[in-house]
Amino acid sequence: MVKRVAVILAGCGVFDGTEINEACAVLVHLSRAGAEVKMFAPNVDQMDVVNHCEGNPQTEKRNVLLESARIARGKVTDLAKLDVDAFDVLIIPGGFGVAKNLSDWATKGKDFSVKPEVEKVIKSFHKAGKPIAMCCISPVLAAKVLPGCEVTVGHDCESEKWPSAGTAKTLCEMGCKHVNKDVTEAHVDTKNKLVTTSAFMCNAPLHEVFDGVGVMVTEVLKLI
């Protein structure tokens, strides 16, 4: 059986969209697994546009769907058109676009909300008993939409390797169970059919992030 996977993108670029390396890792591992993939993104303006050389916000406006097309090689569809019945799995890579364009985590922290059409898709996959995978910062979406779920964003003790460990503590404050995992590992919440991995929440070499995303993809496809 060919596994049909929906991937949600949030723009193009780590500071204001989807983290490109993570998206590519997801797509490579799905390709190797023989999955049929279709990419989606919300047809909305980005929260901001960031100069990726200097890290500074710019005055221009960019559209999340149009920017996501850069990763999807043009083959991306408006998220509003995603039909849950047509897919077996949902995957959401990370990047600041998750915190800015799929939610407002970037400005509100644990008091954030998930964009309605993104929340609707996540809830629909979960209600249908279909597995979901998220990496990097994306698990915060599950923490909000699926209360009490189990996730990993890496480790909960801050260090040079884990500079964003505070996120794990915040997820616990939201009522989730955080499970410490290394960057090459993934956590499987069997009850919620949710698979997560830290990816670039860890200060790790690219190949280790790639391998961790591969474990996430392998584990989520097993849940179909």
Position 1 pLDDT exceeds 90: no
Task: Provide the pLDDT for residue 126.
Answer: 98
Q: What is the mean pLDDT of the chain?
A: 98
Task: Provide the pLDDT for residue 218.
Answer: 98
Q: Which of 12, 19, 15 is nearest to 213 (CA)?
A: 19
Across the range 49-62, mean pLDDT stands at 96
CA distance 188 to 184: 14
Task: Provide the pLDDT for residue 6.
Answer: 99
CA distance 105 to 140: 8
Residue 175, sorted as left (phi over 0), alpha (psi -120 to 50) or beta, turns out to be left
Task: Provide the pLDDT for residue 25.
Answer: 98
User: Is 136 among the residues known to form the active site?
Assistant: yes
Which pLDDT tens digit goes with each residue over 77-136? 999 999 999 999 999 999 999 999 999 999 999 999 999 999 999 999 999 999 999 999
In CATH terms, the fold of domain 4-222 is Rossmann fold (3.40.50)
Three-point CA angle 113, 118, 122, nearest 5°: 105
What residue segments make up the domains of the chain, in order of their start? 4-222
Residue 124, sorted as left (phi over 0), alpha (psi -120 to 50) or beta, turns out to be alpha
Confidence bin at 138 (pLDDT 50/70/90): very high
Position 34 pLDDT exceeds 90: yes
Give φ, ψ of 2 to 5 degrees.
Answer: -75, 130
Catalytic residue among 24, 53, 135, 136: 136
Q: Which of 133, 147, 156 is nearest to 216 (CA)?
A: 133
Sequence-distant (6+) residues with CB within 8 A of 33 are 3, 217, 218, 221
CA distance 141 to 127: 16
Asked whether 207 and 164 are in contact (CB, 8 A), the reply is no
Percent of the chain with pLDDT over 70: 100
Task: Provide the pLDDT for residue 66.
Answer: 98
